[in-house]
Chains A and B, each alone.
Chain A
Amino acid sequence: MFSDGNWAAILLTVKLASIVTLLLLIISTPIAWWLAHTRCRLKSFFEALVALPIVLPPSVLGFYLLLLMGPQGVVGQITQALGIGTLPFTFAGLVVASVFYSLPFVVQPIQLAFENIGENYLEAAATLRASPLDRFFSVAMPLALPGFLTGSVLGFAHTVGEFGVVLMVGGNIPGVSRVVSVQIYDYVEALEYGQAHSLALTMLLFSFVILLLLYTFNPNRRTR
């Protein structure tokens, strides 16, 4: 059904989305926890910052990431000083860009889940002399599990569906940055509509099934 090139694109996309989701869970958890509990005045500022990728066109995000990570950009200067070189046109660069791009889709569900727990359970645990870390891992985490689940699924799916940013910073290199969405775009542009259909239909079904599973099995919804 798929050519070698298409399989390579599919594998690359799955690899990218998996790594990005994992990184996002690690990065988003403290951010979400802080946002859920802080009384800092800057809370709205950071919430807005995290939510930016939702409203920004990927071309804007991609363009700025390209400039930032380029040889003259701040990030580019740092990576060059560290001896890594510059990030555009590398798989690592794609991971960094995707993390920014999918951040709100993971932070927001987890933040919401943390907020919904409320202080009661945590305070009860504290009176039973549970340490802050213990409270977090044995009380907050299990209670917020649906949020983590939603966050990972959305983060994964959103990264798979990413296009504009990858196109801007990726350079369309097979095995490095030619993900499924870019491959489909190439087929459409080259008027190879048949090839485009097989991949595009797979993408459509994948996205639908993911969302269907999410809406069917999300415990949050069932209790409502």
Chain B
Amino acid sequence: MIKQMLILLSGCALLFGLTVARAETVQVATAANFTAPMKQIAAEFEQRTGHRVVLTFAASGKFFAQIQNGAPFEVFLSADASKPQKLEEQGWSVPGSRFTYAQGSLILWSSQAGFVADDSPDILRSDSVKHLSLANPKLAPYGAAAVETLQTLGLYERLAGKLVQGENIAQAYQYVFSGNAQLGFVALSQVMKEGKLSAGSGWVVPADLYTPIRQDAVLLNRGKDNIAATALLDFLKSAPAAAIIRSYGYKL
């Protein structure tokens, strides 16, 4: 009996050893707005598979330039659809690996509770707003969506003098968070946790006011033969990952 158990145990150990040997590390370039959900997804993924995920967060444009110059990333989660597409056209990524992992939502947010009505953007017409923060529209898809929203609302000209730009959506958030800007357009994912606003007040911009912010992922050439990279991309498409992604206010 004891002998049989020992055999069983050593068998388990062997099996375990095999899976450990197959555990790989994957380097992921993640767009700044997807920071919080990706940390959670990576933790979940590591627990399930034993692979290790190394996350780097920055603006997508920076990653784009870095990837073109030999950065060691294996998976790229962009804040838009155009950069992954360009990378594929230029031969930096594995053709056919591109897919939309999340669709971003925009929110007009203030760090003050009760400052923004949750059903109307009327506060934008108020004189009490000295600075309206947004991400640089030239660089960040959320910034472009914010400008588009203001234009659809017919408020762009009126507010142009009050706009302050963050380099990316994380900085746009920082300006509002610190109170230096009373209001700002930020990613819903930055202020939403478990389906609720985590602080302040905000108006979720209706999806028909701006072009959908499709966020695409792509497998880069460097990750082509890394089983952890492909496993992570598969996991991103799975139901458990989708639940995490949705809980941060993204659509799928």
Report A's interface with B, CB cutoff 8 A.
66-67, 69-72, 85-86, 88-89, 167-168, 171-173, 185-186, 188-191
Contact = CB atoms under 8 A, between A and B. Distances in A.
Nearest to A89: B164
Contacts of A72: 178-179
Contact of A172 (B65, B136, B181): B136
Q: How large is the interface on B (under 10, 10 to 19, 20 to 34, 35 or more residues)?
A: 20 to 34
Contacts of A66: 174-175, 178, 180
B163 A173 contact: yes
Contacts, number: 59
A72 B112 CA distance: 12
B165 interface: yes
B62 interface: yes
Given A85-B130, A172-B136, A190 B180 contact: no
B165 A171 contact: yes
Given A189-B59, A189-B139, A171 B131 contact: yes
B46 to A, nearest CB: 29
B164 A173 contact: yes
20 contacts: A66-B178, A67-B178, A71-B179, A71-B180, A88-B175, A89-B164, A89-B181, A167-B171, A171-B164, A171-B175, A171-B181, A173-B164, A186-B136, A186-B138, A186-B139, A188-B61, A188-B65, A190-B61, A190-B138, A191-B64
Contacts of A173: 163-165
Contact of A70 (B65, B136, B139, B179): B179
A191 B180 contact: no
Interface in B58-90: 59, 61-62, 64-65
Residue with the greatest number of chain A CB neighbours at <10 A, chosen from B65, B133, B165 = B165
B139 A86 contact: no
A194 B65 CA distance: 14
Nearest to A85: B130
Contacts of B178: 66-67, 70, 72
Interface in B88-131: 130-131
B103 to A, nearest CB: 23
Interface in B156-177: 163-167, 171, 174-175
A203 to B, nearest CB: 18
A191 B65 contact: yes
Nearest to A182: B167
Contacts of B181: 89, 171
Contacts of A191: 61, 64-65
A176 B181 CA distance: 16
Contacts of B130: 85
A173 B180 CA distance: 14
Nearest to B83: A191
B173 to A, nearest CB: 12
Contact of A167 (B62, B65, B167, B179): B167
Nearest to B136: A172
A185 B167 contact: yes
Contacts of A69: 180
A66 to B, nearest CB: 6
A57 to B, nearest CB: 15
Nearest to B175: A171
* Top-9 shortest CB links A-B: A171-B164, A189-B61, A172-B165, A71-B179, A88-B180, A70-B180, A70-B178, A189-B139, A89-B164
A173 B64 CA distance: 25
Interface in B128-144: 130-131, 133, 136, 138-139
